[in-house]
Amino acid sequence: MKIISSIEELRDQLSGQLRTSFVPTMGNLHEGHLSLMRLARKHGDPVVASIFVNRLQFGPGEDFEKYPRTFQADVEKLEKEGVYVLFAPTEKDLYPEPQEFRIRPPEDLGNTLEGEFRPGFFTGVTTVVMKLFACVQPRVAVFGKKDYQQLMIIRNMSRQFALPTEIIAAETYRAEDGLALSSRNMYLSAPERAEAPALYRALNFVASEMRAGHLDIYQLEHQAMDELAKRGWNPDYISIRKRIDLQPPSAGDLAQGTPLVVLAAAKLGGTRLIDNLEI
Ligand code: PAF
């Protein structure tokens, strides 16, 4: 595997490649990321991964400084997966001058759910993803469904800008007890790690109630959040949305069986976890 930090060198290395399959990451790779690499391989060749902890998507007081950086271990994992190039730019390589041009997602999609609790987060994500796409020029790029709203925003961005990059969605990779794998899980203490699957159970509770015909979504969302709060969580939201645009479903949507997803974000101690489940 070639490890490249400069944009120019990356371009030389990938010139003439028409089927590049790309997986952008912020490192601290776990099985979930590796499953994205395997899916990327099915959709193109060569597979290119990136590791870049993107300052633009962290708000003040968030965990940019302490975000786990495990570069050597990550390299070994990517080598085992047969990744062809790891693009690992420094901040100076990717942002040699202040990144004043930004991609701002539409308000409906960008300022709700995660966007409401992490202002500016999606602008940071779309800006770096657009720039990484410009560097790698992939034909396909793989994103996990665990970051459901991020996936949707990037898919819409790629479509609206007519980017030549097809966005592929990968299923969420879960531990045996249901906890979605995430780099931030490593912040959890042992008792918090034992408690953490309660978030996925809350999503399953909402989904199974909906499937059983319980359609008072306001009541369900609040019941699930109250339950988590009783267990010591600090929930930001548990919200039932339409899969198509992540807006709240109308009574008509509920009656017609419009495809839905329930999304959640909650803090357990100092760690903020997110998860979702399609209903
Ligand atoms: O999901 C992530 O790890 C990041 O948001 C991404 C897409 C690599 C952009 O920094």
On whether the CB atoms of residues 87 and 48 are closer than 8 A, the answer is yes
The per-residue pLDDT for 193 is: 98
Question: What lines the ligand 1 site, CB under 6 Å?
Answer: 24-26, 54, 57, 125, 128-129, 147, 150
Alpha carbon of residue 47 to chain centroid: 19
Mean pLDDT of 213-220: 95
Residue 270 assigned ligand-binding role: no
**Residues tagged active-site:** 33
Nearest to 48 by CA among 37, 35, 62, 61: 37
Q: How far apart are CA 220 and CA 42, in angstroms?
A: 39
pTM given for the model = 0.97
Residue 151 Cα to ligand 1 midpoint, Å, equals 10
Q: How far apart are CA 134 and CA 37, in angstroms?
A: 20
Q: Write down the domain spans for the chain.
A: 2-170, 185-278
The per-residue pLDDT for 250 is: 97
The per-residue pLDDT for 197 is: 98
Statement: 185-278 belongs to CATH 3.30.1300.10: yes
Residue 251 Cα to ligand 1 midpoint, Å, equals 34
Through-space distance between the first and last CA atoms of the chain, rounded to whole angstroms? 40
Mean pLDDT of 120-143: 98
Across the chain, what does the average pLDDT equal? 97
* Model pLDDT for residues 52-75, shown as the tens digit of each residue: 999 999 999 999 999 999 999 999
The structure tokens 């190039």 sit at 85
User: CATH classification of 2-170, choosing from 3.90.25.10, 2.60.40.10, 3.40.50.620, 1.10.10.10?
Assistant: 3.40.50.620
Mean pLDDT of 194-206: 98
Residue 183 assigned ligand-binding role: yes
User: What proportion of the chain, given as a percentage, has pLDDT over 90?
Assistant: 100
Residue 149 assigned ligand-binding role: no
The structure tokens 């069986």 sit at 257
Residue 26 Cα to ligand 1 midpoint, Å, equals 6
